[in-house]
Amino acid sequence: MSYFFEIYIRFFFLLTPFFVLSVFMGLTSSWSAIQRRRLALKVSLWVMLVCLVLFFFGNALFSVLGITLDAFRVGAGGLLFISAVRMVQGIGDEPRPDASDDGIAVVPLAIPVTVGPGTTGALLVMGAEHHRFPDTILGCCALIAAIATVGAILVSSSALERVLGAIGVRIISKLSALFLAALASQLILEGVRNVLFPQASHDHPTWSQRSGPAEAAPTVAGLLLRAETCRALSDRQLAEGIETCHTCAQCGG
């Protein structure tokens, strides 16, 4: 469960929900709450479709293009870091004139506001890092949960605008950019480390390679049993040593 929550948090911040919310509110400033909810559902469906395609076909794309995963980590991390810097600076979130919900649901809200170049690269990397089927399913469920959470935020945009205000949403958006920058830095560092020190990748696995079942924590009963076993072995070794010494004394050895 903790591993699922870890992936969920990564995907959630990767989708930059509060940045998307600020752009969403700017584009729909004159829309009614019903129109906003309908648009939010369409955006969520398009984002889910695009993200799942990127997540599942990352390995195939790397094989066709002949690109190594570590090289793509560095490239995707660089783009993601640039996106985080642009979020902090407030670049690219200027509202455009109102358009139909069908027109802006795909472009610009789904692509590139929610799933931009940096997010695309990160999704490809994260999908390609999962080599076992259970890990892939768990990652897919975490991705869907993160997209559903972003969709719920967009559906509640009218209520959040009343509570937080436009300035509050922008502040949260810039704070979430810090987490995005940290994720980008981790992708870059992992890629560079694995290229320069291949052995280090086995000693320090990536976040998706740590998905094996955690070793069960020792219970009190287990610790007591280990202590009793060790003490019994020590007593037995001591007794054998004493018998050996008596034998040596009798034979004069």
Same domain, 206 and 237: no
Q: Are 155 and 41 in contact (CB under 8 A)?
A: yes
pLDDT 10s digits, 51-96: 999 999 988 888 888 888 888 889 989 988 998 888 888 765 454 5
Same domain, 61 and 184: yes
- What is residue 229's predicted lDDT score, i.e. its pLDDT? 58
Give me the count of residues in the chain. Answer: 253
Same domain, 122 and 229: no
- What is residue 7's predicted lDDT score, i.e. its pLDDT? 93
Query: Sign (positive/negative) of CA torsion 77, 181, 171, 46?
Result: positive
Q: Are 172 and 37 in contact (CB under 8 A)?
A: no
Same domain, 84 and 129: yes
Region 182-196: mean pLDDT is 91
- What is residue 212's predicted lDDT score, i.e. its pLDDT? 45
- Residue 248 scores a pLDDT above 70: no
Tell me which of 235 and 113 has the higher pLDDT: 113
The CA distance from 4 to 213, in Å, is 12
Helices 33-56 and 117-128 meet at what angle, rounded to 10? 50
Tell me which of 33 and 217 has the higher pLDDT: 33
pLDDT 10s digits, 38-47: 999 999 999 9
- Residue 192 scores a pLDDT above 70: yes
DSSP 147-205: HHHHHHHHHTHHHHHHHHHHHHHHHHHHHHHHHHHHHHHHHHHHHHHHHH-HHHHHHS-
DSSP 90-128: TTT-PPPPP--HHHHIIIIIIIIIIS-HHHHHHHHHHHH
Q: Specify the pTM.
A: 0.71
The domain in which residue 48 lies consists of 2-210
Q: Are 177 and 88 in contact (CB under 8 A)?
A: yes
Same domain, 65 and 34: yes
- What is residue 251's predicted lDDT score, i.e. its pLDDT? 52
Residue 47's H or E segment, with its range, is: helix 33-56
Q: Are 22 and 93 in contact (CB under 8 A)?
A: yes
pLDDT band, residue 108 (cuts 50/70/90): confident
Same domain, 37 and 114: yes
Could you tell me if residue 215 is inside a domain?
Answer: no
Same domain, 78 and 18: yes
Residues of the chain above pLDDT 90, percent = 35
pLDDT 10s digits, 117-136: 888 989 999 888 887 889 99
**Whose structure tokens read 């079942």?**
213
Same domain, 33 and 7: yes
Same domain, 158 and 227: no
Same domain, 233 and 172: no
- What is residue 97's predicted lDDT score, i.e. its pLDDT? 47
- What is residue 220's predicted lDDT score, i.e. its pLDDT? 44
Same domain, 241 and 139: no
Task: Give the total number of structural domains in the chain.
Answer: 2
pLDDT 10s digits, 206-239: 544 544 444 344 444 454 455 555 565 555 555 5
In single-letter form, the type of residue at position 249 comes to A
Same domain, 133 and 152: yes
In single-letter form, the type of residue at position 45 comes to L
pLDDT band, residue 26 (cuts 50/70/90): confident
